[in-house]
Amino acid sequence: MRNLRVSADRIGADITALAAITDPGQPWTRRAFSPRFDEGRAWLANRFAEAGLSVTTDAGGNLLGMRKGSGDCGTILLGSHSDTVPDGGRFDGVAGVIVALEVARMLSERGLSLRHDLCVADFLAEEVSVFGVSCIGSRAMAGVRPPEWLALTHQGRTLEQALTDVGGDAKISAQRTDIKAFFELHIEQGPVLESTRTDLGLVTAIAGITRIEVILTGRPDHAGTAPMYLRADALVGAAQLVTAIEAKARAEAEKGAHFTATVGEFSITPGAANVVPGGARLLIDARAVERAQMEGFLEWLRGALKTLPQGISAQSRILSDNLPTPMHEGLIARLEAAAETCGASHIRMASGAGHDAAFMARIAPAAMIFVPCKEGRSHCPEEWAETDDIALGAEVMAEAVLAFDAATQGEDR
């Protein structure tokens, strides 16, 4: 069924218009809590209203557009986020918000009523914000935003004040108990769909993310006079460790389940050309959809830190440790059936990136649709997804929403 009910032209025009709201000279930058973000939010609010949605901002700072249903069945929530990383892409998050809006528009234009309320969401600050934290809106809606976050400051403004500035209210709970299903569309941010010429990816789980800081201590010495056999070069130990982490991550990934490990931050001290490095700091980002695999990696790392060259000691600490989040099997099955109805090829796949869906899954059944992106690139100006691919994902989402609504009380629990 490729005679789509959604409008690809309208989806493309909306994504282009929202992308144009960007910091001058920094395509495509619209960071949460910035004037440009506020401008984008105002544009979205107008589009929500033009679609006949009742527009509000909840206590968590999420922009919501509501379409009332005919029954007392709870809410089907659709959406993603409109904020970007600096110099980011025009599709990451944005495509999911516009698709959610288009599904609502299509249902109204076709006269298709739902028993459930339908809510379109632009979640606040899914990307890492100027306050150093992410998924602020979806955490609030799930009731798990840490209260201590409200005291975080940036340029003299607290997060609590920033929430007020976008229309939220930190003094009121934003947690929802009425959500019966959550669907999010997102670009894949990887090369699998494009390389296999597959229309859609149906997400099975969102990887847990663990970040570990490692400090290596050796001995600084004169680079010209310290004999090679007497050195305790922290950088040599760090190089050995980074290489071992890469090899271990490759071996874990070959087991089949999604697993990655990256040393994304690295520094040495004292950092002079004529001094043997006496210290090194590494920050490891490890991701897995199977918790047992992450536990095994952490155990391996503890052992690896005991095998460094002589004279080098190591200390490590876990900075953050988020568990993997499975998507709801019942909703995945509905998306598979919808893809078959729409003639869309599809595969099941894990998400190595974090998403608002990981927090919505704490309060309701949740599922995600991935669409291909060019060369798998994301978080960069070159990020690109074809409008027709996005529109096909929107059609599959709409079909799944209709099927869910038609089920007895819409319950897939």
Q: Enumerate the known binding-site residues for allantoate.
A: 211, 274, 287
Using an 8 Å Cβ cutoff, are 304 and 241 in contact? yes
Burial of 247 (0-12, 13-18, 19+ CB in 10 A): exposed
Q: Which residues are annotated as a binding site for Zn(2+)?
A: 81, 92, 127, 186, 379
Q: Which of 2, 3, 6 is nearest to 397 (CA)?
A: 6
Q: Which residues are annotated as a binding site?
A: 81, 92, 127, 186, 211, 274, 287, 379
Distance set, CA 112 to CA 73, 96, 283 (Å): 16, 21, 51
Kind and range of the H or E element at 271?
Answer: none
Work out the angle between the directed axes of helices 94-109 and 8-19 (0-180°, nearest 10): 140
Give residue 189's region: left, alpha or beta (phi > 0; psi -120 to 50): left
Q: Alpha helix locations (H) across 213-369?
A: 234-253, 291-304, 329-342, 357-360
Structure tokens at 173: 């709970």
DSSP-derived 3-state class of residue 359: helix
Name the CA radius of gyration of the chain, rounded. Answer: 23
Using an 8 Å Cβ cutoff, are 86 and 43 in contact? no
Which phi and psi (to 5°) does residue 276 adopt?
Answer: -65, 125
Residues 6+ apart with CB under 8 A from 402: 112, 114
Rounded distance between C-alpha atoms, residue 161 and residue 170, angstroms: 9
Q: Alpha helix locations (H) across 110-260?
A: 136-142, 159-165, 192-196, 234-253
